Amino acid sequence: MKKKVHKLIFEPETGFKLIGISSHENDYRLSWALNKYLGYNFSKSENLLIQKPKHNIEQSFSVYIYNDEETFLQYQLIANNSENGFLIPELKNIDFFLKISGEYSDSIINKIVTKLKKIEIINTAFNLENLSERNKKVFTF
């Protein structure tokens, strides 16, 4: 009699959008600017810790979170760089990622990008659409 084998397949959350932000300011200054100019309420969360056993290093990336009770969207501001390297090494020109989860539309994302570009301390902001599956997995925490 043959044994039955059941495989558990994990599919990462793909219901989010990423906006790349370039700014030479610190993470806390950027979160303060987003709170002030966009009416958000970002607060510091636990850092994102990534172990890279191949290189024997641990990376720590700052994370700020804001939950919008009216639109049911969750925003996470995530730093792309740490003392030991980048979260996404292929995107070294991006200083921060703004991850938006929930029920959103493309028009909402475009409005956010437009508003971000108007903030003085932000050099540029743009919608990240074509990330590889490997890079998307980094944002499923």
- List, in sequence order, every beta strand (DSSP E) within the chain: 16-22, 43-44, 48-52, 57-61, 63-68, 73-79, 81-82, 85-86, 96-101, 124-128
Structure tokens given for 94: 């991006």
DSSP H/E element including 122 = none
Q: Assign 18 to helix, strand or coil.
A: strand
Sorted by where each begins, the domain ranges of the chain are 31-128
| Residue of 139 and 58 predicted with greater confidence | 58
Taking the CB of residue 111, how many other CB atoms lie within 10 A of it? Answer: 11
**Residues 20-38, mean pLDDT to the nearest whole number:** 95
Q: Return the axis-axis angle of helices 27-38 and 106-117, rounded to nearest 10°.
A: 110
Tell me the average pLDDT across 33-42. 94
Q: Residue 29's pLDDT is what? A: 96
pLDDT at 14: 58
pLDDT of 131 higher than 80: no
pLDDT of residue 3: 77
User: For position 8, what pLDDT does the model report?
Assistant: 65
* Residue 1 pLDDT level (bands cut at 50, 70, 90): low
For the chain, what is the mean pLDDT? 88
pLDDT tens-digit profile of 8-19?
655 545 578 999
| Better-predicted residue by pLDDT, 83 or 21 | 21
**Average pLDDT in the 60-81 region?**
94
DSSP SS3 for 94: coil
pLDDT band for position 97 (cuts 50, 70, 90): very high
State mean pLDDT over 38-62.
88
